[in-house]
Amino acid sequence: MTELQTFARDIHKGLSAPRKHISSKYFYDDIGSGIFQDIMKMPEYYPTPCEFEILSLQGDNIIQKLAFDRPFQIVEFGAGDGIKTRQLLKKLIERQVDFTYVPIDISAKAIEELTGNMLGHLPGLKIRPMIGNYFSMMEELAASGVPSLLLFLGGNIGNYEAHEVTSLLTDFRKCMNPGDYLLTGFDLQKNPATVRCAYDDPKGITKAFNINLLHRINRELGGTFKTNQFDFYSHYNPVNGEVRSYLVSLVPQKVHIRHTDKCYDFERNELIWTELSQKYTLTGIEKIAEANGFRVVEHFQDCKAYFTDSLWTL
Ligand code: AVI
């Protein structure tokens, strides 16, 4: 099945469900990735500067916890622009640690840019970029027997539902050997107003990020979404730590998708659920680690305790 066919199938499944939904993984076409860069620069979106602080100021502490006795590899899933990771890599190079950085991404363009940027800032870096599906790549790396630190940063884990987190961690574990580590970014529960502002910003950048999903369907699948007939709504529930985001149909309307030749009816105020952004407690993170066969080595938090990069081992 081609990527476009998978996209068309998932959109059909989501829009024909009793509660309409579209997976947040479809936010990230070239335009959506650009809007996400803008989100990360918003003053309200605290996760990026918090994780930057952790990796800049606590890089040494993180490195000290790694008990590797020979050259190792740092494998990063979805590195983005790599600015945060670079802080950690810089520390390792300064300490003359022998390691290879292996960023993995499905997008060739993203990997090319990242590699150029990394080498521009860290000319001494040993880098082995890999393009493709995370887990087929990981199996290859695990089979090499080189000790590994896996990075899954940025709070991306929060975009997975609980059962998906379990299968993701199972996949990570399968790719790891005893003595390997996993460093994962988790956004922590905090003053609910702070979380709410990060996901419903006054300039409407997050709204544009969501509306781009509809533009993408129009562009790639021949959809007839009238995007001005949809609004955006985001809700944080501090009781369970869930931010849930939605598109809202402002009028009763019908949308056709040419690629699959299917029509979808929307009632006034009907929702399309687009994203979960889970916020965690440290105890909750420890339970997840334990339930999935990991041991927490340490949580590294920013000074406001808004975010943690949590180091686990098998
Ligand atoms: C990529 N991910 C961790 C972001 C988040 O915070 O859930 C995506 C995002 N959605 C709205 N703002 C940012």
Q: Indicate which CATH number applies to the domain containing 99.
A: 3.40.50.150
Could you tell me if 262 and 289 lie in one domain?
Answer: no
> How far apart, in whole angstroms, are the C-alpha atoms of residue 69 and residue 62?
16
User: Rounded mean pLDDT of 297-301?
Assistant: 98
- In this prediction, residue 187 carries a pLDDT of 98
pLDDT band at 264 (very low <50, low <70, confident <90, very high): very high
pLDDT band at 108 (very low <50, low <70, confident <90, very high): confident
The pair phi, psi for residue 7, each rounded to 5°, is -60, -50
Distance (angstroms) between ligand 1 centre and the Cα of 241 equals 14
Complex ipTM over 0.90: yes
Could you tell me if 144 and 163 lie in one domain?
Answer: yes
Mean of all residue pLDDT scores within the chain:
95
Could you tell me if 185 and 67 lie in one domain?
Answer: yes
Distance (angstroms) between ligand 1 centre and the Cα of 68 equals 33
Distance (angstroms) between ligand 1 centre and the Cα of 108 equals 22
* Test site for ligand 1: of 199, 200, 243, 244, most ligand atoms within 8 A of the Cβ: 199
User: Does ligand 1 come within 6 angstroms of the Cβ of 199?
Assistant: yes
Could you tell me if 292 and 271 lie in one domain?
Answer: no
pLDDT band at 207 (very low <50, low <70, confident <90, very high): very high
Distance (angstroms) between ligand 1 centre and the Cα of 209 equals 10
- Percent of the chain, pLDDT > 90? 89
- In this prediction, residue 131 carries a pLDDT of 87
User: Does ligand 1 come within 6 angstroms of the Cβ of 277?
Assistant: yes
Q: How many structural domains comprise the chain? A: 2
User: Does ligand 1 come within 6 angstroms of the Cβ of 302?
Assistant: no
Distance (angstroms) between ligand 1 centre and the Cα of 36 equals 8
Could you tell me if 170 and 34 lie in one domain?
Answer: no
Could you tell me if 99 and 173 lie in one domain?
Answer: yes
Could you tell me if 236 and 292 lie in one domain?
Answer: no
Distances in Å between the Cα of 64 and the Cα atoms of 28, 95, 294 are 35, 11, 19
Q: Is the pLDDT assigned to residue 81 strictly greater than 90?
A: no
Long-range pairs for 198-204 at CB < 8 Å and ≥24 separation?
Answer: 198/42, 198/44, 198/45, 198/46, 198/47, 199/234, 199/236, 199/243, 199/245, 199/277, 200/232, 200/234, 201/39, 201/42, 201/44, 201/45, 202/44, 203/42, 204/232
User: Does ligand 1 come within 6 angstroms of the Cβ of 159?
Assistant: yes
Structure pTM? 0.95
Distance (angstroms) between ligand 1 centre and the Cα of 119 equals 27
- In this prediction, residue 106 carries a pLDDT of 78
Could you tell me if 175 and 200 lie in one domain?
Answer: no
Residues whose CB falls within 8 Å of the CB of residue 115, separated by 6 or more in sequence, listed in order: 103, 127, 129
pLDDT tens digits for range 125-163: 999 999 887 777 877 877 888 999 999 999 999 999 999
Q: Is the pLDDT assigned to residue 248 strictly greater than 90?
A: yes
User: Does ligand 1 come within 6 angstroms of the Cβ of 154?
Assistant: yes
Q: Can you name the residues that pair with 117 across neighbouring β-strands?
A: none
User: Does ligand 1 come within 6 angstroms of the Cβ of 48?
Assistant: no
pLDDT tens digits for range 154-196: 999 999 999 999 999 999 998 899 999 999 999 999 999 999 9
User: Rounded mean pLDDT of 283-302?
Assistant: 98
